[in-house]
Structure formats: structure tokens, C-alpha cells
Amino acid sequence: MLLESTTCSTWLRSQTDDLWTHVLGHPFLRELEAGTLPDSKLRFYFEQNIQYVETVYRTKLIAAAKAPDAETFEVLAGEWSPEPSHDRQASLLRAFGGDPDQSPEMSPACRGYTYHLWHYALNGGALDWLTSLLACPWTYDVIGHQLAAPVTEPRRASWMAWYGSDEHHALLGRLLSTVDRLAGNAAESERARLLQIYRLGLRYEWMFWDDAYFERGWPV
């Protein structure tokens, strides 16, 4: 299929099978599916994720201010994040023994991922920021639809239910269609640049799971 006849999001996905395989095959997710993932790993995850989600909220408002048209502004300025709300994140963190009022230092992956979002919000345009974020809602939508049924423990099931929902899938659709519209006339060199941004986001997704799985802080 010619590059010109392929939507940007479809092309980005076709170029990243290697990273998708690593993300979806991570032992954090496989043990979550099998019901063997310890609570301590989930607590670490939510301690980090609550900070990541706060960064999404903040940076998307900067990206919205740079929106090239009203349609993009409406998508970016709306009330959404990878999780529906800070309150839900706090509730899930408490469910796994954490305290949302005592945030630990960001792990290496969380620090890198949030800086990734800040960089493209401050130094790029709306399309750059959307591309920097896209790996998160896209992989979680797939993960949610795969795990919503097999994950039955109530706390874990409550978490996965959002990602496996029609509402989340519709959110992902709005983000993908916005990327495709903004990149509709992008030259091959511009798509290549967007691919670099997107691949970095996928790497941070894998690293985020990996830090949580090993409960990895800073080595020094």
C-alpha cells in the first residue's frame, strides 16, 4: 500500500510491530492476566501512574492552546485522561495499600515519560503532543479488551474495565482520527519524524511496566 494512501495512525502502527510485541508480552501484564501479580507491584504502578496522569492533564491543556483549529481544540480541551479522573487513580492506589497524599519520587521511566510529554507540549504543536501520548491510550485499549474478561479479582477488574469499555475505545478513536486529520498532508519526512516520537512513547510504555514489575527506583 502506498504511503500516501495510508492514514498516519495506520502507518505508525504498521511500523512498530516489534515494540507492540514487547509491550503486550510484558510479564507484568501476563501475570496480571494469570492472577499472580503481587499487590506490591500494582501499588508501585499506581504510585507512579497517578503522577503520569497529572502530567497528561497539564500538558494537554498546553497542546490545546496550540490547536490549529476548533475541532482539535475541542478534542484536546475536553475532560479526559488515560484514567477518567484523579479521584479514581487515588481510589485504586488506596486499594493496593498506597497513600495518594504521599507520592514517592518518580521512577526513572515515569520521569522520562512525563518529560517526553512536557517536551512536545512546550516545544512542538498539537500533533506532536498527540503523537507523544498516543502509545498510552492505544496500547491500553488493546490491553483492556484482552484482559477485561480474564481478570476477575475485583480491584484489578475495576481497573481494567475502563480500558475495555466502549467509552475508552471511542476516546481512542477521537485521538487517532485527530492525528490522521492533522497529518493528512504530511510529507514522508514529517511522517518519519512523527514515527520517532511515537516509537519513543512505546518504549516508555514498556519501561513503565518494567519499572513497576521490578519496583525499580533510582539505583543511586
Helices (H) and strands (E) in the chain, counts: 12, 0
Q: In sequence order, what are the residues at sequence separation of 6 or more whose Cβ sits closer than 8 angstroms to the Cβ of residue 21?
A: none
Specify if 193 maps to a domain: yes
What CATH number is given to the structural domain containing 148? 1.20.910.10
Specify if 30 maps to a domain: no
The per-residue pLDDT for 99 is 93
Specify if 23 maps to a domain: no
Q: Identify each DSSP E strand in 28-185 by its residue range.
A: none
Specify if 27 maps to a domain: no
Give 218's DSSP letter. Answer: -
The per-residue pLDDT for 87 is 80
The per-residue pLDDT for 19 is 98
Specify if 33 maps to a domain: no
Q: What are phi and psi of 219, to 5 degrees?
A: -70, -20
The maximal CA–CA distance of the chain, rounded, in angstroms, is 51
Task: Report, in angstroms and rounded to the nearest whole number, the Rg of the chain calculated over CA atoms.
Answer: 17
State mean pLDDT over 33-61: 95
The per-residue pLDDT for 89 is 85
Q: pLDDT: is 79 or 116 the higher one?
A: 116
Query: What distance, in Å, lies between the first and last C-alpha atoms of the chain?
Result: 49
The per-residue pLDDT for 2 is 43
Q: In sequence order, what are the residues at sequence separation of 6 or more whose Cβ sits closer than 8 angstroms to the Cβ of residue 113?
A: 52, 201, 204, 205, 207, 208
In sequence order, what DSSP letters do the residues of 24-61 get, joined into one string? HT-HHHHHHHHT---HHHHHHHHHHHHHHHHHHHHHHH
- Percent of the chain scoring above 90 in pLDDT: 90
Q: In sequence order, what are the residues at sequence separation of 6 or more whose Cβ sits closer than 8 angstroms to the Cβ of residue 186?
A: 8, 194
Of the pLDDT bands very low, low, confident and very high (cuts 50, 70, 90), residue 1 is: very low
Distance CA 125, CA 93 (A): 33
The per-residue pLDDT for 170 is 95
Lookup: cell for 89:
487513580
Q: What's the pLDDT tens digit per position in 128-168?
A: 999 999 999 999 999 999 998 999 999 999 999 999 999 99
Domains contained in the chain, number: 1
Specify if 31 maps to a domain: no
Domain extent for 202: 39-214
Q: What's the pLDDT tens digit per position in 63-91?
A: 999 999 999 999 999 867 666 667 888 89
Q: What's the pLDDT tens digit per position in 182-212?
A: 999 999 999 999 999 999 999 999 999 999 9
- Percent of the chain scoring above 70 in pLDDT: 95
Mean pLDDT, the chain, rounded, equals 94
